Amino acid sequence: MAPLTAERQADVRHALVVVLTLNAGATDAIGFLALGGAFTSVMTGNLVLFGISAAHADGGLARHTATAIACFIAGCVIGARLAGTARDTDPVWPRSVTRTLLVQFAIFSVFAISWWFVGGRPHGAAQLALLAANAVGLGIQSSTVQRFGISGLSTTYMTGTLTTLVVRLTSGHRIRDIKGSAQLLIALIAGAVLSGILNRDVPSMVPLLQLASIGGVIVFSTLLTPHRSGVQPSAARYDGARSME
């Protein structure tokens, strides 16, 4: 198989990032619908919910949102330590990114086994433990993506992506200039839709969406890891890469 060109490597990486974003949407939907009404990556929403829980003396909501926030932070720490920071000599897809996603896959595998053990309808301590596992997983994913060294690129923080898309459209940019951001937003929504349908109709299938998305990214990332070009071509190609925060 002939090596991929730098441009093609950037395209493949973006496609894999889109799949990771789909996973984030699916996992957040699981948390909100089945794990106590807390998100597993939308920490702004969780902070607001935590404030609401304090105003209404809702101990259950406070417990779930605080757990999600703490575990997401822990996941970010783990992801940053394992994936490392961006370097000028990095290939398009550093090997440490794949290795760190394997840790996330292992956590989601534990989540899946536990989910099936409780019949897809967790309650009480099981609900809180599963929420914690998913929050750690998305925290790992969120900080791991930072290894790419692309300013503003995220699979979990979509407010910045939406802001960039709107600003660019308002500023007269062409559709192709916002295509990447639009794909990420669509993937997030699609993941939530699919997860919501599965949770409603076939709860036993819910973890498979997570495992398939992360597993697929791990497998296909092998197309990129062997080719070390020493460049970051996507810094010029990813339309959401600059100043999203």
Is 186 part of any domain? yes
Q: Which residues contact 104 (CB under 8 A, 6 or more apart)?
A: 79, 137, 140, 141, 144, 214
Q: Within 13 Å, how many C-alpha atoms sit on residue 30's CB side? A: 38
CATH no. for residue 25? 1.20.1250
Does 77 map to a domain?
A: yes
> Which alpha helices (DSSP H) does the chain contain, by range?
6-34, 43-55, 59-83, 95-117, 124-144, 159-170, 179-201, 206-220, 234-237
Three-class DSSP category at 82: helix
pTM above threshold 0.95 = no
Query: Residues 66, 54: contact at Cβ < 8 Å?
Result: no
Per-residue pLDDT of the chain (245 residues; tens, 9 = 90+): 567 787 888 899 999 999 999 999 999 999 999 999 999 999 999 999 999 999 999 999 999 999 999 999 999 999 999 999 999 889 999 999 999 999 999 999 999 999 999 999 999 999 999 999 999 999 999 999 999 998 888 999 898 889 988 998 898 888 777 888 999 999 999 999 999 999 999 999 999 999 999 999 999 998 787 544 444 444 444 444 433 33
Q: Which of 79, 77, 90 is nearest to 10 (CA)?
A: 90
* Domain contains 166: yes
Domain hosting 35: range is: 6-233
In a domain, 239, yes or no: no
* Cβ atoms 154, 188 nearer than 8 A: no
Q: Is residue 1 situated within a structural domain?
A: no
In a domain, 205, yes or no: yes
Cα distance from N-terminal residue to C-terminal residue, the chain: 39
Residue 243 lies in a domain: no
Number of separate domains in the chain: 1
Query: Is residue 207 domain-resident?
Result: yes
Among residues 189, 63, 86, the alpha carbon closest in space to that of 132 is found at 63
